[in-house]
Amino acid sequence: MSRRSGILEFAVLGLLRESPMHGYELRKRLNTSLGIFRAFSYGTLYPCLKTLVANGWLIEEPGSAPEDALAASLAGRRAKIVYRLTAEGKEHFEELLSHTGPDAWEDEHFAARFAFFGQTEREVRMRVLEGRRSRLEERLEKMRASLARTRERLDDYTLELQRHGMESVEREVRWLNELIESERAGRDQRRPDPGSPAEREGTSGEADGLPRHRDATSSGGTPPGHPGPPDPSADTTK
């Protein structure tokens, strides 16, 4: 299984853990909620779904509305199939959520992992964030060294492009620093007493990880107003 198909399977399992969906709805959520999948097509999604069904992680069910199925049949079209996560699929997804190795720090995989941080244990979130920061700091050091070596041989536009790439990575490192500090503060903060205003308002110890001025999305993804982790693709020194 390729790394990219593994990311897609992870994202599909995560979305179906929230609720059953049919293929069109799944593709829409992948495109809108997880922007890294904008280029994915039905030709990529359905083989992935078939693989997950074959592995016993999903089951296929007919659409919930009988009249819709009847109308589709009369029109010569197949009724929509709804995909539901099985108990084995949920267990497998939770196992994937616990992984904190180098794959979780890479650009696309990190974006998918971050989108499901709302379903991830705090300690795992911390390890993924710290690993991602370490990876970007290494990348930034290489970019700076490369720029120092080649600065005199670059024209103004190429030089500006490399500076832009460095600034993008530096922004993400600052963003990660903020998230990590907020996670640490949330971990160390004592849970409010039952009946306190914070407790009555539904404040959760798990939710304390996000910075106070940010709101998590419903899927635990990138906070509103933040376009997601800056795209490191501008790194032209690779």
State both tokens at 122: 């705090």
The total number of residues written for the chain in this structure: 238
* Residue 193: closest CA among 203, 208, 207: 203
CA 222 to chain centre: 8
pLDDT values of the chain reduced to their tens digit, one per residue, 238 residues? 556 678 899 999 999 999 999 988 998 888 887 766 766 666 788 899 999 999 999 999 987 655 455 555 444 556 689 999 999 999 999 999 999 989 899 888 898 899 999 999 999 999 999 999 999 999 999 999 999 988 888 899 999 999 999 999 999 999 999 999 999 988 655 455 444 444 444 444 444 556 544 444 444 444 433 445 444 444 444 4
| Tokens 């593709």 found at | 27
Q: Can you state the angle between helices 87-97 and 3-18, rounded to 10 degrees?
A: 120
Kind of pairing between the strands at 21-22 and 58-62: unpaired
CA 143 to chain centre: 26
Contacts of residue 123, Cβ cutoff 8 Å, sequence gap at least 6? none
- Spatial contact of 234 and 142, defined as CB atoms under 8 Å apart: no
- Spatial contact of 136 and 231, defined as CB atoms under 8 Å apart: no
Cα 136 from Cα 231, distance rounded (Å):
11
Residue 81's pLDDT is what? 92
Beta bridge partners of 22: 82
Planar angle of CA 132, 138, 140, nearest 5 degrees: 100
Residue 211's pLDDT is what? 55
Residue 84's pLDDT is what? 96
Cα 111 from Cα 222, distance rounded (Å):
9
33: left (phi over 0), alpha (psi -120 to 50) or beta: alpha
Is pTM, for the whole model, over 0.85?
A: no
